[in-house]
Structure 1
Amino acid sequence: MSSAITPALIALHSNRLENLRDVVVNFMREHPLGPLEEEVVLVQSNGVAEWLKIALASDLQVCAATRVMLPARFLWQAYRDMLGHAQVARHSPFDKTALTWRLMRLLPELVAGHGYAPLQRYLADGSLERLLQLCQRLSDLMDQYQVYRADWLQDWEDGKDVLRGHGGGAAQPVPPDQAWQARLWRAIWDSVAAEQQDDARAAVHRRFVAALAEGAAPARPLPRRVIVFGISSLPYQTLEAIAALSKHVQVIMAVHNPCQYHWADIIDGREMLQAKRRQQLKNGQSLADMPLEDMHAHSHPLLACWGRQGRDYIRLLDGFDEDEAARERFPVNKLDLFDDAPGDTLLQQVQAAIRDLLPPDDHPAEAPSVDASIEFQVAHSVQREVEVLHDRLLTMLDEDKGALRPRDIVVMVPDIEVFAPAIHAVFGQHALLHPRHIPYDVVDIAERAGSTRC
């Protein structure tokens, strides 16, 4: 029997995915959907999806009627459910592939004119191969703009060569050496028939948000609950769509946040972060008021290097998080799920220092005497890196004697397509019953790259 599901948006912050998982699983257990309803969970990668499915099966005894999706796929499905399939074209002239071939037709004529000097220099030799490569790069760039900065494209369509800031930030003129991008987008836009311009992603998104704001009936039923789990960054457009959905759908955002205090001001770009903050500041002080040269004394250097994308995501989320309203409507009493453990290992101590926004001088004075929780290995090639990893994992599995299982291990790499051939060569060389065999799987690899494996 299903329980009443109240539409709301709430963000649960924690520095540990395990804490987020436990709260989400308990909530799903105490507030179940109907027997034939699917639980919709959004994750950032296929690897996290598999880990979460295993965790759900372990905690709930079974993982069934659970649709674990990537945000982009869910968003397009939501567009179609709300507006109807007839209003959301399956293929758009602004899709990446279609845009590549459109640029192949437009660019030779455009670069011959005024304002495209950088592109003109690149295509000076007249090579079709270089033209195709450039068109592919430009179509990818414009596709990213459609996802992350649709507001820029809207301004460029209107003839305004500016870069608008999120959160009410002042618009800045497009740098002169990049002004060709605005001209190029206008040329692309004008080359598309007027009746097809409504198929652009930004146009569909605006219709979707407007329909939800007006309380229009969806063409097909929307899910009653959506869980956004452990995603470290989402585009503004996706957050806006999820926030609009939360007026009609129960949205749980389980946010993996490394620090329990407001930490967005510890790196440059603070002028963009003047929106109302809901996350507490350490000791009640505002880091925005401190000079940049003093930041090292009030923050953790690893946190400062965490990355602009993750920082901006948490800042954007603060703008959509209706904290007090959520507490009244949403049956969860605690929003911050940070642990307070000091940490016994070196890794745990570093995590605790990041969580508590401690500068280096406030770190624990002594590290554990025998501790392998953080190790640095030096290797001369990708192949050797994977071989060292394989040997190290065999040692760990042998030492723990069953306490550690292969399914508990996740290995992160900067570019999986570079490492995939070496992984298959090293981990796939031993038969199933061989003592050095470790079961493994490679996820998040492009289909074309995966199909080239022998």
Structure 2
Amino acid sequence: MFTTYHSNDLDILLNLIKYNILKNPLNNPLQTEIIILSDLTLIPYLKINLSKIIGIHANINYINPEKFIWDLFIKIIPKITKENIFNKKMIIWQLMNIIPEIIVLPEFKNFKKYLSNIKNTNYLFQISIHIANLYDEYQKYRPKWLFLWEKNTEIFLTNDKDHIWQAKLWKKLIRYNEIILGKQLWYLSKLYNYIINIKNIKKIKYSVLPERIFILETQNIPLIYLQLLEKLTDYIEIHILIKNPCIHYWDNIQINKNDKFNNSLLFSWGNYGLNNINKLINLQSRMIESFVKIKSTNLLNNIQKDILLLQNNSLLKNKKKINITDDSIQVNIFTDAKQEIEFLSINIIKLINNNNYYLHDIIVISPNLEIYLPFIYSIFNKKNLPFNIYLDINKKNMFDIPDTFFFY
């Protein structure tokens, strides 16, 4: 089974990694420790902090969960190869061959509205990209659909008529790989079904499995990945580390409207973290809690403490007083972007000089960083303030940024 650790402090979670590495070293000292995380931009932060905690950072491999899953099962199941797993880039070209041949079928009546310019190769290419992305999302978050569609069980859980042509096209894609290309197309739900139904255990090479893995930030890891890994917990030591802002499970409390435990801020902003926790409910695991008490030294700490204990001091008659010098939470209004960056630079220097912060301890978050870039370069360079800028080239939803920051 899994071992899950819950804490409201990321440093505690990293120290738990350190404890397992140092107290329970791998049998093979040359084997690599594996840390799985979906956001690889966190790697520099983890390297810095783990090197501080352990004393040295070496022989630790950070890997994306999707790559880890497929690399792992390619090793242990001989019939699976890199050439016959679901690959979006490969699927695109297959769809371009298939779509023009089957749009005349009656099941594709609702699909024709997307094919106004089907003879245009660029247009067909773009359509194929979108469909390949759609099937990739289905294999991660609606895996049963694809497996049932392949077995000619046409299930439509919604009134979406597009599912009719999607099911038909998926079956055609499977047949195209089998008949034209002469190979099976392996995708996540097919892999899971194979694992749970396999009778001859000798068909799986368990000897090549890693001895131990750590999983950080399960929020963006599809449940099917965890279900697949659960089938291997008899052979792999799997530790899941969860940044949890609250010692209570607040989902049922929120539904039942318990007045004793209530925090409107957590209920409104906590769905990101709650989804992370709910994902593990039906998986076998032993849970270890390591929460840190929060001292009520300022406004920010009071809010964090209320969330941790699932209480709401705003409902009390005697509200807590805020010290006039308390600057833990600030709201500042400026006339232009230059003034914002000037004020930001002053506050960063103040933090470094008065609060013993280092530059790598400070994160600046903005949903539209591009408009500030000229002022950041001019003002920060003028004051000799080093900085690193990360721009999300994929343009993810800006609300993903604070979610990841607060609940990871």
Structure 1: gaps spanning 5 or more residues:
1-7, 164-171, 266-285, 327-334, 447-454
Q: Choose from 307, 313, 324 the match for 1:369.
A: 324
Partner of 2:294: 341
CA 1:153–1:404: 2 relative to 1, 3 Å: same
* Deviation digits for residues 26-63 of structure 1 (CA, Å, limit 9, x no counterpart): 23222222432211111231232221111111111110
Please name the residue that 2:29 is paired with.
Answer: 35
SS in 2 for 1:351: helix
User: 2: CA distance between counterparts of 1:360 and 1:138?
Assistant: 49
TM-score normalised by structure 1 residue count: 0.73
Aligned to 1:68: 62
TM-aligned CA deviation for residue 88 of structure 1: 2.8
Q: How far apart are the structure 2 equivalents of 1:114 and 1:96?
A: 26
Post-superposition CA distance 1:174-224 (Å, at most 9, x none)? 534544332332232233225422433443444456669947662762221
Task: Name the CA shift for 1:436/1:361 in 2 (closer, same or farther; >3 Å).
Answer: same
1:152 Cα deviation (Å)?
1.4
Partner of 1:253: 240
Kindly provide the amino acid, as one letter, of the partner of residue 170 in structure 2: W
Question: Is 2:50–2:57's contact at 8 Å kept on the other side of the alignment?
Answer: yes
CA distance in 1, matches of 2:230, 2:193: 13
Mapped to 2, the partners of 1:296 and 1:125 lie a distance apart of: 58
| CA shift in 2, pair 1:177/1:104, >3 Å | closer
* Count of residue pairs the alignment pairs up: 387
Residue in 2 that maps onto 1:88: 80
Determine whether 1:21 maps to 2:6. no
Mark the CA change 1:394 to 1:65 in structure 2 (over 3 Å): closer, same or farther.
Answer: farther
Task: State the SS of the aligned residue for 2:239.
Answer: strand
In the alignment, which residue of structure 1 is the partner of 2:175?
Answer: 190
| 1:155 has 2:103 as partner | no
CA contact (8 A) 2:6 2:244 kept: yes
Aligned pair partner of 2:304 in 328, 351, 356: 351
2:254 and 2:267 in contact (8 A); partners too: no
Match of 1:435 in 2: 383
2:277 to 314, 323, 326: 314
Q: CA–CA distance in 1 between the matches of 2:335 and 2:173?
A: 46
Evaluate the alpha carbon distance shift between residue 365 and residue 401 of structure 1 in structure 2; reply closer, same or farther with a 3 A threshold: closer
Give the partner amino acid of 2:17.
V
SS class of match (1:369): coil
What is the aligned partner in structure 2 of residue 281 from structure 1?
none
The equivalences for 1:32-431 within 5 A come to 32-33=25-26, 34-84=28-78, 87-92=79-84, 94-126=86-118, 127-162=120-155, 172-173=157-158, 175-176=160-161, 178-193=163-178, 195-208=182-195, 214=201, 218=205, 221-265=208-252, 290=256, 294=257, 299-306=262-269, 310-323=273-286, 335-359=288-312, 361-362=314-315, 365-376=320-331, 384=337, 388-389=340-341, 391-401=343-353, 403-412=356-365, 419=369, 425-428=374-377
> What is the rounded CA distance, in whole Å, between the counterparts of 2:175 and 2:364 in structure 1?
46
CA spacing shift, 1:114–1:249, aligned 2, 3 Å = same
Instruction: Summarize the Cα distance change of 1:191–1:198 in structure 2 as closer, same or farther, 3 Å threshold.
Output: closer
Determine if contact 1:233/1:310 at 8 Å carries over to the other structure. no
With normalisation by structure 2, the TM-score equals 0.80
Distance 1:107 1:346, change over 3 A: farther
Paired with 2:332 and 2:314, the residues of 1 have a C-alpha distance of 26
- Aligned-partner SS, 1:245: coil
1:289-333 deviation per Cα after TM superposition (whole angstroms, max 9, x unaligned): x3xxx579954333334475653442231211333xx7xxxxxxx
Secondary structure of 1:242's partner?
Answer: helix
CA distance in 2, matches of 1:305, 1:131: 42
Aligned residues of 1:343 and 1:352 also touching (Cα < 8 A): yes
The one-letter amino acid paired with 1:227 is: F
Deviation of the 1:111 alpha carbon? 3.7
Determine if contact 1:83/1:219 at 8 Å carries over to the other structure.
no
Question: What's the counterpart of residue 401 of structure 2?
Answer: none
What percentage of residue pairs aligned between the two structures are identical?
Answer: 20
